[in-house]
Amino acid sequence: MHVIRAKWPAPPGIVAGTSTRAGGASQGKFASLNLGDHVGDDPQAVLENRRQLIAHCAFPEPPRWLRQVHGTTVLDVATLPPPGPDDEPPVADAAVSQDGSGVLAILTADCLPIVVCSSTAPGLAAMHCGWRSLAGGIVARTIGALGADPAQCIAWLGPAISQPAFEVGDEVRDLFLAGVENAAHCFKVNERNRWQADLSGLARLYLEEAGLRQIFGGGRCTYSNDAQFFSYRRDGQCGRMATFIRRDKSRAS
């Protein structure tokens, strides 16, 4: 198993990163570390893959998985009861933990995962940013729910589809032009008179608009690296990677 560790100036004890597709028990289209339980993979293989992730990353407890629907709902997992073995995950596309407890995780296969922590407060956040969620305001909602001073927050962007691979129509571009300043710089017209969208660049604009000044990561393309990442736009039915964040109290100082 290979996990990409976040490179950012987070406070001691903050552990964040993204899994790759390497390792695990899944076969075929889901080979091999698929962590998504909603994509048609063998459920037992997904359970084994999640067990391996928990062991490899030394999580003290399973991540608080979400049922992501490309919306803008944000949950504070610290206020939720512990999940039972047969419970369905809550519907949301972002999670915060204002007290810093738990393991937050987002599943992606082209959409942009973002994790956030604060240099002065205990809270953590993780969000799933496809274009719908991003244009719908998920960044502002998540930072607001985190309850920390945005100027003291630090964000890390995980792997996502890159601008050369992400073609959208006028309707998508128009949403962003109306939603955030300087969005036009994140679109390039192609030979089909459609647009190549910079999803990570757009996310940076929304993070800056929300008051963040420390933004790291990005630059890893899921679409172009089939050996390392799943990509829905490239492959259709496929697995999912997990981007996670937690606070390791044993490493804090």
User: Rounded mean pLDDT of 219-241?
Assistant: 97
CA distance 96 to 106: 11
Contact 135, 160 (CB under 8 A): no
- pLDDT confidence tier of residue 206, bands split at 50, 70 and 90: very high
Domain 3-160+214-247 listed as CATH 3.60.140.10: yes
Query: What are 60-94's pLDDT values in tens digits?
Result: 999 999 999 999 999 999 888 888 878 899 999 99
CA distance 26 to 1: 13
Query: Who's near 213: CB < 8 A, 6+ residues apart?
Result: 151
Contact 116, 152 (CB under 8 A): no
Query: What are 11-53's pLDDT values in tens digits?
Result: 999 999 999 999 999 999 999 999 999 999 999 999 999 999 9
Residue 253 has pLDDT above 70, yes or no: no
User: How high is the pLDDT of residue 223?
Assistant: 98
User: How high is the pLDDT of residue 17?
Assistant: 98
CA distance 94 to 73: 6
Q: What is the Rg, in whole angstroms, of the alpha carbon atoms belonging to the chain?
A: 17
CA distance 4 to 206: 24
User: Rounded mean pLDDT of 122-140?
Assistant: 98
Indicate the pairing of strand 195-197 with strand 241-247. Answer: unpaired
User: How high is the pLDDT of residue 12?
Assistant: 96
User: How high is the pLDDT of residue 252?
Assistant: 65
User: How high is the pLDDT of residue 85?
Assistant: 78
Query: What are 148-204's pLDDT values in tens digits?
Result: 999 999 999 999 999 999 999 999 999 999 999 999 999 999 999 999 999 999 999
CA distance 201 to 224: 18
DSSP string, 64-85: B--B--SS--EEEGGGSPPPPT
Q: Domain locations in the chain?
A: 3-160+214-247
